Structure 1
Amino acid sequence: MLLLTCPWCGPRDETEYHYGGQAHVPYPEDPAALSDEEWAQYLFYRDNPEGPYAERWSHSLGCRRWFNVVRDTATYEVLAVYTGASPDSQVPGTPTPGHPGGPR
């Protein structure tokens, strides 16, 4: 079972959360100008690394807020929890990512 630390509510079991996919995927500047293939790329294609991966999570059974998690996909170890654009804005007491291939 995965234990995630909500930045607002503290540590909770993964069953309280909703997975939101890859973090830091920028919305297209002009969505109307995208071809069908480009729109499909934006909607459906995501990285699938073995190792650290930045993800979005929502505390759906708690405060209902969104936050980011860097999780090692091979070991499920949570490396960082943060609310901003990078792990520099992490929750105190959570480890920082120690891998050069960390979040973008």
Structure 2
Amino acid sequence: MRISCPICGARDRREFYYQGAAVLRDRPAPDAGEAAWDNYLHLRENPAGDLEELWSHDAGCGAWLKVTRNVSTHEIKGVELVQEVAR
């Protein structure tokens, strides 16, 4: 799989480090209880199809990227710098 870094160009995915889904989840209250925290920390949706993910270009420019990828086929649909998305 190749990821096109907006700064460095197309690179092998081994230059990047997967950081997780690019989705904010509602954090439980500090006193929400063990079950709520267990769910928040360990249970994730695992849908087939397109997913927005965070990747860092550790072996390159160090940029953080939001990668839209089909998790079934690994086809990269889009790559954006996180700093551009946050604006």
**CA deviation after TM superposition for structure 1 residue 47, in Å:** 1.8
**Which structure carries more relative contact order (alpha carbon 8 Å, separation 6+)?**
2
CA RMSD of aligned residues (A): 2.0
Q: TM-score, normalised by structure 2?
A: 0.79
* Corresponding residue of 1:52: 50
Residue 18 in structure 1 maps to residue 14 in structure 2: no
- What is the number of residues matched between the two proteins? 84
Distance 1:74 1:64, change over 3 A: same
Which secondary structure does the structure 2 equivalent of 1:40 belong to? helix
Distance 1:31 1:6, change over 3 A: farther
For 1:56, the aligned partner's letter is L
Residue 6 in structure 1 maps to residue 5 in structure 2: yes
- Looking at structure 2, the residues matched to 47 and 8 of structure 1 have their Cα atoms a distance apart, in angstroms, of 31
**CA deviation after TM superposition for structure 1 residue 27, in Å:** 5.9
Which secondary structure does the structure 2 equivalent of 1:43 belong to? helix
Q: TM-score, normalised by structure 1?
A: 0.68
- Looking at structure 2, the residues matched to 55 and 21 of structure 1 have their Cα atoms a distance apart, in angstroms, of 6
Which runs of 5 or more structure 1 residues have no equivalent in the other structure?
90-104
Write out per-residue CA displacement over residues 20-57 of structure 1, whole angstroms, 9 at most, x where no aligned residue.
Answer: 111122462x6523322222222222221111111111
For 2:18, the aligned partner's letter is Y
* Corresponding residue of 1:64: 62
- Looking at structure 1, the residues matched to 69 and 29 of structure 2 have their Cα atoms a distance apart, in angstroms, of 30
Which secondary structure does the structure 1 equivalent of 2:30 belong to? helix
